[in-house]
Amino acid sequence: MNTLKNDLFLRACKREKIERTPIWIMRQAGRYLPEYRAVRKKADFLTMCKTPELAAEVTLQPIDLIGVDAAIIFSDILVIPEAMGMHLEMHEGRGPVFPSPIRTLEDLNNLKTIDPFADLNYVLDAVSLTKRELNDRVPLIGFSGSPWTLLTYMVEGSGSKNFANVKKMIYNNPSLAHAILEKLSSAISVYLSAKIEAGANAVQIFDTWGGILSQDDYQEFSLQYVEKIISEITRKDEPVIYFPKGVHSNLDKLANCGADVLGLDWTMDLGKVRSEVGDKVALQGNMDPTVLYGTDEVIKKNALKTLKSFGNGSGHVFNLGHGILPDIPPSNAKALVNFIKENSQQFHS
């Protein structure tokens, strides 16, 4: 039974009639908040992920400080490969690094099959604790990377410009790539199901690197696994959001992948996508994150443009088209949230 005081986000995901457009912001629990940086000073990034009290603390910050309509559990998509046995380092500035990336069948065989209740219990504990502390104020979102996006990190080992290693694998050894993707898919299904069991009201699958693939390769190495995961997640009516950043093709297939909501990056035309997918899915997005560098006037103008682009009716979850940038003033994020709360009623009359 839904006892949430504010369930606008969930109702928008299900395209139910609502009073105004809900908003949350990707990376809303992050470095742009001084309160986050204060916690981060006390513990490194992975320690924060692995300490439920700290993860819960920063997850709640944007609810109190910015006023968003949903919380998203503080964690990282790379906790899965780490739980599978890959050594993960987080380097300030350089990003995550796997010093021993996966390149061979032997590397694959060394990856252990994870049980999220044992291997990722710290995430589940963080979800339960956050749920308690949220006290039903807003829904809580759990998330995972897509198999393809995780594979990309696991094979490249660190930030990449051309993704040469993972591309070499899919072209020269596609069966190895598929075997790793299979293993990841099973892990992700179980992981997201466990998050829902622990209290997550919705889950989002981040496919950050889907857009580096040709259309056929995207279908073969990414989308088919996402579809499999979505069909396997154990859930009641918790919506699944799929965010295929940089993927602009096959909207019809995307709309039929099983997700309740498609996340769009800022290069997509929200209105055009809506007219193409009809009422098959709700849409999330998609203001350019750099708009938040702008003046109050610029932020309001572009936020209104995004609302207008979606148009009248339900099925829109306002968000940026990618994560909030670390040097955005929190007051600008708050101005955006307030604007959406105060000016989106007109699209739901």
Q: Under the rule (CB under 8 A), what is the footprint of a second copy?
A: 162-164, 167-168, 171-172, 211-217, 246, 248-249, 266-269, 272, 288-291, 293-295, 298, 302, 305, 321, 325, 327
Residue closer to a second copy, measured from CB, 17 or 272:
272
Min separation Cβ 164 and a second copy, Å: 6
Active site residue 27: yes
- DSSP conformation class of 29: S
- DSSP conformation class of 66: T
Residue closer to a second copy, measured from CB, 106 or 327:
327
The string of DSSP letters for 171-227 reads HH-HHHHHHHHHHHHHHHHHHHHHHHHHT-SEEEEE-TTGGGS-HHHHIIIIIHHHH
CA nearest neighbour of 26 among 266, 328, 322: 322
Catalytic residue of the set 76, 125, 136, 217: 76
Dmax over CA atoms of the chain, in Å, equals: 59
Catalytic residue of the set 11, 15, 20, 27: 27
Min separation Cβ 172 and a second copy, Å: 6
Min separation Cβ 283 and a second copy, Å: 15
Active site residue 274: no
Residue closer to a second copy, measured from CB, 15 or 274:
274
Residue closer to a second copy, measured from CB, 96 or 321:
321
Catalytic residue of the set 36, 153, 191, 218: 153
What are 123's two structure tokens?
Answer: 């995430």
**In angstroms, rounded to a whole number, what is the distance separating the alpha carbons of residues 213 and 218?**
5
Min separation Cβ 212 and a second copy, Å: 8
Active site residue 20: no
- Angle at the Cα of 202 from the Cα atoms of 198 and 205, rounded to 5 degrees: 105
**In angstroms, rounded to a whole number, what is the distance separating the alpha carbons of residues 114 and 116?**
6
Which residues are known catalytic residues? 27, 31, 40, 76, 153
